[in-house]
Structure 1
Amino acid sequence: MTPDAPSITALIISFNEEVHIARCIERIRPLVQRIVVVDSFSTDRTVEIARSLGADVYQNPFTTHGAQVQWGADNTGIDTDWILRMDCDEYLEAGLLDALRTRTPALPDDVSALDLKLKVLFRGKFIRWGGYYRTWLTRMWRPGRARMESRWMDEKLLIDSGRVEKITGGDLVDENLRDIGWWTDKHNRYATLQMIDFVLREQGVVRDHDEPGAVTPAAKFKRFLRHTIYGGAPLYLRAVLYFVQRYFLRLGFLDGRRGFVWHSLHGFWFFMLMDAKIDEARMHIAAHGIDSFPDYLKSRYGINFALPAS
């Protein structure tokens, strides 16, 4: 790590990421004073590579992304002014590294968190169209001023005090180097987690405002679109309409052949799969009641879950 770097700790979540972990650490190293990797007991060389590159590696059983990030923030002795959350398949562009290095030490105290703009590369192709290159993620925060939501999927950072500021000059790049089989397996798991989150809210088991703190206005608006507008539409039809607006109305077709694969899988297949899993769960609950949902998740998906005490 760089001795004269701003007071930032990079917090990286990992599981079997030997293909990405070196790129992630090497690109973030010039910006930060410390790198913490929270690993979910990888069986490949992830831990070995991370330690060889100077990262402090901790291991913790994985439940959800939000819980893993919060465990890392709470249990790894972070004492810098800022925490920067990274996934292993992500890196920061040079312009964003420079902007953070320059601006972070001079930010006023009322700035508690920072939004970074997301850029997705799919098979090396920048996905510019379809509305996707408008996503801002709250990925940096001052310790003690924010924490992760307890959600199965789509977790956000809850800001306890202060304000959030956007940092421009470059992007947070998501570029996964694995093959399409791995990508579909991962999104199959994500569809299951989205189903659980949707069903629990539909059944009134949890609510969006169960936890104190606030998400950013951009995240709140995105959640309104997903839960109220999209979530209120009929199953299956909404996946079709979402793909139409993304691929045609938001010009996703301009992303070319690889963009067609991306928008078709991420903007249609993934949402159709979520709806199919929601449909199955609804039928099970209608026949057996919400109390049977934990057993359903265990038998179908191998997920251990207990309903909150009433």
Structure 2
Amino acid sequence: MNKAFSFIILTYNEEIHLPRLLESIKSLRAPLFILDSGSTDETLSIAASYGTQVKTNAFENHPKQWDFALKHFDIQTPWTIGLDADQIVTPELFEMLESFNDEKHQDVNGIYFSRKNFFQGSWIRYGGYYPIYLLKMFRTGIGYSDLNENMDHRFIVPGKTVVWKKGHIVEENLKENDIDFWYQKHERYSDLIAQEEIERMQNLRKQSLNPTLFGNPDERKAWLKRLWWKLPLGIRPYLYYGFRMFFQLGVFDNKTARRFHYLQGLWFRKLVDQKIKTLQNRQ
């Protein structure tokens, strides 16, 4: 059994994804923990077949679900790795984890993995989507979920972090091959983000991280978010989409990836702004 790190995975009806992920990490022989939010398909049977420890918690949002997982699983390894069910560990990242030595990372509290994102079979290579670095590995008991976010989830650690630029996690939600699923999911996400932004306007939420353009990947993202919140509603989606397509070279992606840029970069953000205005009018 791997004594350096454990995996925590969030699931909800992931029979299409979970075997793919568990196969990519099973030879690491690390303890596996799954927090499920009420799956009705074969997710729990698949989890049991891989010897995972499973708990169930009603889903409210991703940050709170991760917070519950970190607080309710008894992780005995010095490191924890948090993954989503629609991600897999590539062979290159597998090798880095297989050779991981805790003694060589005594001054490090968190490790960023590089992510490759796919949509309907296409790698989203441009438009600011690669490389994206996500804090996925952190010292047990030190890393925590950022509850000041309502939809986006991130782990936070105090102290030093490092970025692994080699090796990747690959993220592809196969359910999104059905575009209606994508629309329905982002309708729900838009409600969460709109409510979050209203609460930020009312000073009910504050950023947990120090926003700085020259900090770690999450601190840079916090800086960009702070800038985003200052831009005028209704106009900022077009500014972002233009920046993403031309300055971040999204036009060089293939047709499917360009559709993703339109849906995620413009349509979704217009929807969020519309819902923010609706909430403002109600108040």
| TM-score grouping bracket, smaller chain normalisation | over 0.9
How much has 1:12 moved relative to structure 2? 0.3
Conserved 8 A contact 1:10-1:32: no
How much has 1:123 moved relative to structure 2? 1.4
Q: Which of the two has higher C-alpha Rg?
A: 1
Report the counterpart of residue 251 of structure 1 in structure 2. 249
Report the counterpart of residue 46 of structure 1 in structure 2. 43
Q: How does 1:53-202 map to 2 (within 5 A)?
A: 53-150=50-147, 151-160=149-158, 162-178=159-175, 179-202=178-201
Q: Distance in 1 between matches of 2:99 and 2:209?
A: 37
Report the counterpart of residue 266 of structure 1 in structure 2. 264
Conserved 8 A contact 1:125-1:259: yes
Deviations 1:76-120 (A, max 9, x none): 211011111010100111101111221343432121111011110
Q: Distance in 2 between matches of 1:226 and 1:235?
A: 14
How much has 1:158 moved relative to structure 2? 2.2
Q: Distance in 1 between matches of 2:120 and 2:132?
A: 19
* TM norm structure 2: 0.92
Q: Distance in 2 between matches of 1:108 and 1:251?
A: 36
Provide structure 2 residue ranges, at least 5 long, that are not aligned to the other structure.
Answer: none
Q: Distance in 1 between matches of 2:63 and 2:127?
A: 27
Conserved 8 A contact 1:148-1:155: yes
Query: In the alignment, is residue 9 of structure 1 matched against residue 6 of structure 2?
Result: yes
Deviations 1:121-167 (A, max 9, x none): 1111111111110311101111111211113122322213x311112
How much has 1:70 moved relative to structure 2? 2.0
User: CA separation of 1:254/1:207 partners in 2, compared to 1, >3 Å: closer, same or farther?
Assistant: same
Q: Distance in 1 between matches of 2:118 and 2:3?
A: 28
Report the counterpart of residue 288 of structure 1 in structure 2. none
Moved over 4 A (4+): none
For residue 203 of structure 2, give the secondary structure of its aligned residue in structure 1: coil
Q: Distance in 2 between matches of 1:34 and 1:195?
A: 37
Q: Tell me the matched-pair count.
A: 276
* TM norm structure 1: 0.85
The percentage of counterpart residues that share the same residue type is 31
User: CA separation of 1:51/1:265 partners in 2, compared to 1, >3 Å: closer, same or farther?
Assistant: same
User: CA separation of 1:137/1:181 partners in 2, compared to 1, >3 Å: closer, same or farther?
Assistant: same
How much has 1:169 moved relative to structure 2? 2.1
Alignment RMSD, CA only? Answer: 1.7
Provide structure 1 residue ranges, at least 5 long, that are not aligned to the other structure.
Answer: 286-310
User: CA separation of 1:32/1:232 partners in 2, compared to 1, >3 Å: closer, same or farther?
Assistant: farther
